């Protein structure tokens, strides 16, 4: 049976209209699910019982089970068990601007980035829209607080699950849904060019982050197989087109890997590649994992890389480090669970 959390407000309106009901019933259901956070249809007291019985026959009210939580200061890493027994992760980070949640979009990932624990274990399936939404609801219930920002940057490539991603954004942005402002939602992609082009037409002003991680094709081909399909000659024009159409600033995520992409020459090449674009670079210290040989760039070279970009007039930040005492690498907690 399909989960009620798979449905956007528009889909529920169509559902009720097809049953001869007024479409405002969809708003009532959304309010019960997302504002009042009920977990059964019997709690929806302003909707006719006969109608609720029909809805209950058509849609389940699901949940995801939290099976493990690792905590370290301002970060909590959650492991969820899904209804088919698969596992995904979400990471809650406490910032001075609020609680930011990084959610997963797939079970595993087929992009195969060499430095990524998620990519080491291949894609099993896409997450349903409901399974993405329920990560937020479960963690908000656990902490007793609202999530202020959502980043789709956990296990999986979001643009490889595009339709469910778009529905997920629509639900969490809707005023009667989770009511997150569009500018508090960020989607990260490793560079699937056709989906970047499609996303430029998406009406909500959602933030886009590009997992770049290299300043040229030679290095990017070595660490990110997607670059052999969509090399920088295709990716960069697509991003420029996105910026022109949306007037939105793009983030370039750049994980610094020791002796791979962290040299002074790489910093200068990166500045040359993106100069003139409405963007900024987010430098990310690498979270090492026992299953992958890449090493973290030392702090001196991270600062040197940062300084070069600044001198080249590139907007750049260094990501605050989270989770140094827990399974910080994306997919690491799932791997520990399923390989134990």
Residue with the two structure tokens 């449905």: 7
d(CA 176, CA 34): 7
Asked if 176 and 27 count as a contact pair (C-beta separation under 8 A), the reply is: yes
Catalytic residues: 89, 330
Distant-in-sequence contacts of 196-202, Cβ < 8 A, 24+ apart: 196/159, 196/235, 196/238, 196/239, 196/242, 197/238, 197/241, 197/242, 198/162, 199/159, 199/242, 200/241, 200/242, 200/245, 200/246, 201/245, 202/166, 202/169
Q: Which residues neighbour 212 within 8 Å (Cβ) at sequence distance 6 or greater?
A: 191, 220, 252, 253, 254, 270
What residues does 254 pair with on adjacent strands? 283
Q: Which of 44, 115, 37 is nearest to 294 (CA)?
A: 115
d(CA 108, CA 120): 8
Asked if 286 and 297 count as a contact pair (C-beta separation under 8 A), the reply is: yes
Query: What's 257's DSSP letter?
Result: B
CA angle 270–273–275, rounded 5-degree value: 100
């Amino acid at each position: 049976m399909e989960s009620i959390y798979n449905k956007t407000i528009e889909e529920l309106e169509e559902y009720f209209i097809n049953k001869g009901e007024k479409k405002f019933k969809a708003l009532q259901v959304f309010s019960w699910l997302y504002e009042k956070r009920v977990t059964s249809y019997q709690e929806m007291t302003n909707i006719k019982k006969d109608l609720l019985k029909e809805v209950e026959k058509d849609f389940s009210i699901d949940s995801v089970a939290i099976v493990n939580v690792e905590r370290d200061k301002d970060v909590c890493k959650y492991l969820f068990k899904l209804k088919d027994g698969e596992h995904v992760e979400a990471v809650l980070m406490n910032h001075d601007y609020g609680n930011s949640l990084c959610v997963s979009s797939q079970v595993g990932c087929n992009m195969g980035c060499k430095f990524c624990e998620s990519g080491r274990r291949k894609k099993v399936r896409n997450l349903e829209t409901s399974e993405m939404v329920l990560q937020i609801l479960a963690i908000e219930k656990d902490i007793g607080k609202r999530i202020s920002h959502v980043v789709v940057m956990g296990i999986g490539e979001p643009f490889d699950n595009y339709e469910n991603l778009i529905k997920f954004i629509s639900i969490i942005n809707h005023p009667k849904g989770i009511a997150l402002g569009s500018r508090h939602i960020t989607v990260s992609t490793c560079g699937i060019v056709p989906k970047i082009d499609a996303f430029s037409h998406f009406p909500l002003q959602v933030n886009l982050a590009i997992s770049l991680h290299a300043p040229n094709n030679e290095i990017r081909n070595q660490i990110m197989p997607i670059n052999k399909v969509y090399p920088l000659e295709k990716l960069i024009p697509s991003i420029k087109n996105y910026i022109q159409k949306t007037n939105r600033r793009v983030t370039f995520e750049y994980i610094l890997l020791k002796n791979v992409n962290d040299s002074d020459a790489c910093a200068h090449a990166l500045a040359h590649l993106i100069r003139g674009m409405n963007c900024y670079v987010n430098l990310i210290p690498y979270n090492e994992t026992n299953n992958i040989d890449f090493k973290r760039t030392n702090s001196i070279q991270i600062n040197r890389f940062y300084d070069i970009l600044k001198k080249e007039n590139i907007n750049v930040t260094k990501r605050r480090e989270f989770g140094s005492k827990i399974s910080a690498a994306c997919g690491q907690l799932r791997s520990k669970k399923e390989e134990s």
